[in-house]
Amino acid sequence: TDVDWSTDSIIDKRDKYYAASQRAFVPYQKPLILKKGKMQYCWDEKGNKLTDLLGMNLCISVGHAHPAVVEAVTEQVKNLTHCTTMFHHPVPAHLAEELAATMPAGHEWVVHFTNSGAEAIDLAMMMSRAYTGNHDIIALRNSYHGATYGAQAVTGVHGFRHNVAQLSNITFAAEPNQYRGIFGEGTDPYLDEIDRTIAYTTSGALAAMLIEPVQGYGGIIPMPAGYMKGAAEKVRAAGGLMIIDEVQSGFGKTGDSMWCFDSHDVVPDIMIIAKGLGNGIPIGAVVVKKEIAESMAGKFIFHTYGANPVACAAARAVLRVIREDDMINNAKTVGAKLHEGLLQLKDRYDIIGDVRGRGFMQAVELVKDRDTKEPAPDHTAYVFERTREHGLILSKSGTFKNVLRMVPPLCLQMEDVQPVLDAYDRSFADLEKANLG
């Protein structure tokens, strides 16, 4: 082919031709060049096999090159690669119907397809302001909602708030982190925090609040029981809507149900999805109560590739495969085994301060001292590099860069668990030998 796979060539070209903003995010010291993916595995350019515990940043939901998705995409590309929503096509229309059917009964649900998650967040913010007539929006600290101007403005994760003018009328409440949150454990202190945030930092009239049921980039911070329900009551009492961002937690990742909000006894007004919806083919969507979407009737909002038939064909295959292959149940049972094994590692390695998550959204947080919970970013960086040498792809995340995050594709199998745990074990043993102090 006409591409040069050598590391030096790739690095040279990136350094020379990528904008600085696109070069910034390189997790490993030694670049990871990926050549092939098949279900839960990837191979680098030298043929080394890795277990993809991150689903390529959560985009690979049902597996790399899943045959059903490959077939659906190939068929669609051959027939018609693109038509915009100006023209009619059955594939996006079917997908809209199928997504609406996944939502709670008792409401009429409609869908607006976008190119990405961030655009869907922008649109949801616009819809909430148009529908309520209010402007103030509350987001959570430690959240990630995307990189457009609007989505960035509601993103509270450390290091993502840049010194550029931000959108106005957005405030942040402390996230209910049960391990190291500023108000400690429990739900009530964080619901009080929402009251205070409304009272002191908004006009009292809200457009919306955004919540990820499990904060993803923030380091796998699951919302505690009762928090989302309580938040929804407070936000609605102030005239606002609940925007639930299921970009990471959706598609059965937590092993309970298709959408994570189902386990929290709350119904969103607007749900945001992207990433895993296309199994790697770019697509995002706003799924919204019909009467709210109607507030935008006659307003021209156009995403060129929104409702692209290839992306929508991929998404239809994803929804079908999750159901037919009982993948949510797989995430529950395999995830439980993984969790159990990680807890055993915690018993053996003091550096592990916390093991948390459910199903296929899990994390290990590293601390220098279990009592003070002092973060151990250098040790985390070391273990992270070793896990790659031992055949895993993970993410290093969290405010203090001391969290190893796992969100594997829904097809990870029971027989993968022991090798994954062994790779972790070897990596922590390497850390002990390295004696970082």
Stretch that binds ligand PMP, among 20-28, 138-146, 220-228, 418-426 (CB under 6 A): 138-146
Provide, rounded to whole angstroms, the least separation between the CB of residue 240 and ligand PMP. 19
* Beta carbon nearer to ligand PMP, 275 or 356: 275
Residue of 403, 37, 430 whose CA lies nearest to 216: 403
Binding mask 238-277 for ligand PMP (x = CB under 6 A): -------x-xx-------------------------xx--
Q: Residue 163 class from Cβ within 10 Å (0-12 exposed, 13-18 middle, 19+ buried)?
A: exposed
CB atoms within 10 A of CB 348: 10
Does residue 156 contact residue 169 with C-beta atoms inside 8 Å? no
Provide, rounded to whole angstroms, the least separation between the CB of residue 275 and ligand PMP. 6
Q: Residue 70 class from Cβ within 10 Å (0-12 exposed, 13-18 middle, 19+ buried)?
A: middle
Residue of 140, 124, 86, 421 whose CA lies nearest to 274: 124
Tokens read off for 257 = 């149900």
Provide, rounded to whole angstroms, the least separation between the CB of residue 111 and ligand PMP. 16
Write out the binding residues for ligand PMP, residues 387-406 only, by CB under 6 A. Answer: none
* Beta carbon nearer to ligand PMP, 221 or 274: 274
Contact residues for 351 (Cβ-Cβ < 8 A; gap 6+): 366, 367, 368, 376, 379, 428, 431
Greatest Cα pair distance in the chain: 65
Provide, rounded to whole angstroms, the least separation between the CB of residue 120 and ligand PMP. 8
Stretch that binds ligand PMP, among 19-27, 144-152, 219-227, 397-405 (CB under 6 A): 144-152
- Tell me the sheet residues that pair with 109: 289
Provide, rounded to whole angstroms, the least separation between the CB of residue 155 and ligand PMP. 8
Provide, rounded to whole angstroms, the least separation between the CB of residue 6 and ligand PMP. 29
Provide, rounded to whole angstroms, the least separation between the CB of residue 331 and ligand PMP. 18
Task: Count interface residues toward ligand PMP (CB under 6 A).
Answer: 16
* Beta carbon nearer to ligand PMP, 277 or 334: 277
Write out the binding residues for ligand PMP, residues 93-132 only, by CB under 6 A. Answer: 116-118, 121
Q: How far apart are CA 136 and CA 128, in angstroms?
A: 10
Provide, rounded to whole angstroms, the least separation between the CB of residue 151 and ligand PMP. 6
The DSSP H or E segment spanning 43 is strand 41-44
Please give the torsion angle defined by the CA atoms of residues 313, 314, 317 and 322, in that order, rounded to the nearest 10 degrees. -150
* Beta carbon nearer to ligand PMP, 55 or 216: 216
Distances (CA, A) of 405 to 115, 218, 330, 347: 26, 10, 19, 19
Q: What are phi and psi of 349, to 5 degrees?
A: -120, 115
* Beta carbon nearer to ligand PMP, 194 or 281: 281
Q: Which residue is nearest to ligand PMP (CB)?
A: 117
Provide, rounded to whole angstroms, the least separation between the CB of residue 160 and ligand PMP. 10
Tell me the HSE value of 26 on the side-chain side, using a 13 A CA sphere: 15
* Beta carbon nearer to ligand PMP, 53 or 417: 53
Figure out which of the listed residues 218, 284, 309, 335 binds ligand PMP, where binding follows CB under 6 A.
284
- Tokens 């609406």 belong to which residue? 100
Does residue 51 contact residue 391 with C-beta atoms inside 8 Å? yes
Tokens read off for 182 = 């500023």
Residue of 384, 342, 391, 387 whose CA lies nearest to 364: 342
Distance of CA 232 to the CA centre of its chain: 21
Stretch that binds ligand PMP, among 39-47, 93-101, 140-148, 419-427 (CB under 6 A): 140-148
Figure out which of the listed residues 55, 63, 92, 146 binds ligand PMP, where binding follows CB under 6 A.
146
Figure out which of the listed residues 64, 145, 339, 396 binds ligand PMP, where binding follows CB under 6 A.
145
Provide, rounded to whole angstroms, the least separation between the CB of residue 116 and ligand PMP. 4
Contact residues for 193 (Cβ-Cβ < 8 A; gap 6+): 173, 174, 183
* Beta carbon nearer to ligand PMP, 150 or 353: 150
Provide, rounded to whole angstroms, the least separation between the CB of residue 372 and ligand PMP. 30
Stretch that binds ligand PMP, among 72-80, 143-151, 168-176, 360-368 (CB under 6 A): 143-151
Binding mask 184-213 for ligand PMP (x = CB under 6 A): ----------------------------x-
Does residue 328 contact residue 322 with C-beta atoms inside 8 Å? yes
Which residues are at the interface with ligand PMP (CB under 6 A)?
116-118, 121, 144-146, 212, 216-217, 245, 247-248, 274-275, 284
